[in-house]
Amino acid sequence: MPKPPKNHPLTETELDEMETELSENKINKNIDLSALTRNARYSLQDRQRKLPLVNGDPALIEKQVIQYLQAVEKSGNMPTIQSMSRSIGHSRQSVYYFLDTHPNTEIAEFLEMARDAISEVVDLAAMTGKINPVYAIFTQKSLFGRIDRAELYLNTPAAPNPLGEPASPAELQAIKEKYLTD
């Protein structure tokens, strides 16, 4: 690290401490990212546990999703729809397709409940400051179908018309005869 100028507000020792702290944070970030990448790789390598959604065993799907949530809980990571889908051997898109095409099946109802549970985790994590609220809002809108909507309800008495009361048909005819000529 270059030496600070003589009029620099930080001493050389303080700059060394900052450099050490930054490098330690960089190492921790690298470890965290590599662990996340390793988890993604493991879930992709383990394709033999692909469970059928159509005519599949609901108990087996439920067991696998519960095991996924327990693993996420132990690791301290955030549950996601993507990784939940991979835990049963499917992509997020194929799970959504299944939910759209088989909405009233036992498996679809359970997967919707699991999706709602993950959405609730995102809500609570954002409200308690565990995750960035911008991430939470984006995730809720893009993956969980939330929307922003503002509605305005007015319960005030009707205001008088600033132009006065509307003229009757007879009054309009009289005005027409008085001012308009053929």
pLDDT in tens, 122-140: 989 988 988 888 888 888 8
Mean pLDDT, all residues of the chain: 77
Return d(Cα 25, Cα 9) in angstroms, integer. Answer: 23
**In this structure, are 25 and 70 located in the same domain?**
no
pLDDT tens by residue, 48-63 = 567 888 888 899 999 9
- CA nearest to 110, candidates 148, 175, 66: 66
Q: How far apart are the first and last CA of the chain?
A: 94
Asked whether residue 129 is assigned to any structural domain, the reply reads yes
- Degrees to nearest 5, angle at CA 25 with 29 and 69: 40
Asked whether residue 25 falls in the same domain as residue 93, the answer is: no
Contacts of 131 (CB under 8 A, 6+ apart): 78, 122, 125
Q: What is the CA radius of gyration of the chain?
A: 31
Q: How far is the C-alpha of 57 from the C-alpha of 62, rounded, in Å? A: 9
Same domain? 41 vs 121: no
- Residue 1 lies inside a defined structural domain of this protein: no
| Phi–psi pair at 163, nearest 5 degrees | -95, 0
Domain that holds residue 41: 9-45
**Short-list 138, 135, 92, 94, CA closest to 115:** 92
pTM for this entry = 0.58
